[in-house]
Each structure stands twice: as structure tokens, then as C-alpha cells.
Structure 1
Amino acid sequence: MGEAKRRKAALGEEYGKESKIFPWLPISKSQGEQFVKWTTRGAWAGIGLMAVLWLTVRLIGPAFGWWQVN
């Protein structure tokens, strides 16, 4: 008997199903990995937008306010 058949006999109906992160949490490991991937991508997008906003305020903003000094 091969290892796969032995594992299938031991697990019964749970064989082939994805394992969960925690038994009480209805999220599989692949769903958790996908969540981490998307949140990391979103965080980098936020960092990029913040850098663009900072450059806009720092470099372009003073050009519109030069006539208001004293």
C-alpha cells in the first residue's frame, strides 16, 4: 500500500480538502496567502501614492504660493 492510499484511509472524508489556518476560522491556507498577497500589493500602492502626494505638495505647491510671501 502506498503512502497516498494510507493517508487517504487515515483521513477519510477530509482527504483532498484544504487545511484551515485555525480549526475555528473558516479560512483556508491558500485564502490566507492570497489575502497577504493583496494587502502587500495595496500597501505598496499606498506608499507610492503617498510619495507622489508628498512630491506634489513639496515641489509644485510652493510654485502656486510664491506671490503670497510677505
Structure 2
Amino acid sequence: MGEARRRQAKLGENYGQPEQRIVPWLPITKQQSQDFVTWSTRGAWAGIVLMIVLWLTIRLIGPAFGWWTLAE
């Protein structure tokens, strides 16, 4: 019960009401859209870092194994 009271005190009048949607006919809340933006941004940065690591591996470490040379 303590958690419910704390939540009710924090939310005040909004306690027990559904979250606000972006568009009334679209079942996506504002919080879900913010979470999507957060996760997609993290995923984009992870992809960029992975691409740089892969590029460095192929470009710098690869020639040591004879795959490619730096002076093509």
C-alpha cells in the first residue's frame, strides 16, 4: 500500500488516468514515443561505433594477415 500512496501523492489529479496519446486514433503514448527515440538513438550510435571498429580492423589489422594492403 505504501507504493500506491506514494504514486498517488506524486501524480495528484492524474492518478489512475491513462497516459496521454500522441494522436487519439494511434495507440502509442508519449512516453512510448520518447522511449523509442531513446533506444533508436542508442542503436544508431552502437552501429556507428561498430562500423568504425570494423573499418579499423579491416584497414589496419587486415594487411598484417595479407588480406589487403594499405597501398593499393
Q: Same fold (TM over 0.5)?
A: yes
Task: Give the corresponding residue for 1:48.
Answer: 49
Deviations 1:7-66 (A, max 9, x none): x7xxxxxx8321111111100000100010011001100100000000000000111117
Q: Distance in 2 between matches of 1:59 and 1:23?
A: 53
Runs of 4+ in 1 over 2 A off after TM superposition: none
What amino acid maps onto 1:48 in structure 2? V
More moved, 15-24 vs 52-61? 15-24
Instruction: Give the unaligned 5+ runs of structure 2.
Output: 1-12, 68-72
How many pairs does the alignment contain? 53
CA RMSD of superposed structures (Å): 1.8
Q: Percentage identity across aligned positions?
A: 68
* Structure that is richer in helix per residue: 1
**Distance (Å, rounded) in 1 between the aligned partners of 2:41 and 2:20:** 23
Extract unaligned runs of 5+ from structure 1: 1-7, 9-14
**Is the radius of gyration larger for structure 1 or structure 2?**
1
Match of 2:35 in 1: 34
